[in-house]
Amino acid sequence: MRHFTCVVIGGGYAGIQAIQAMRKGISEGALPGGMKLILIDKQPYHLRKVPLFQPAVQEQSG
């Protein structure tokens, strides 16, 4: 069995979405189960910025 490694560079929104889509593809059988996913980013964490702005937008519209 061949093993594949996929390296995603950048843990921003697109990088996280790519990893999640590949994990879903692996679980549904669309991608090989032995695939290794590697995410490389300069930060050891991910902060979704959109939820930070939602309270400000809700206060202005309400």
Determine contact, residues 19/51, Cβ cutoff 8 Å. Answer: no
Q: Is the pLDDT of residue 62 over 60?
A: no
Q: pLDDT tens-digit profile of 17-38?
A: 999 999 999 899 888 878 899 9
Q: Say which residue, 44 or 23, is predicted with more confidence.
A: 23
- Rounded to an integer, the average pLDDT of 38-47 is 85
Query: What size, in residues, is the chain?
Result: 62
- Rounded to an integer, the average pLDDT of 5-25 is 91
Structurally, the chain folds into a number of domains equal to: 1
Tell me if the pTM is above 0.75.
no
Structural domain of 46:
5-61
Query: Residue 11: which pLDDT band, with cuts at 50, 70 and 90?
Result: confident
- Report the first-to-last Cα separation within the chain, whole angstroms: 57
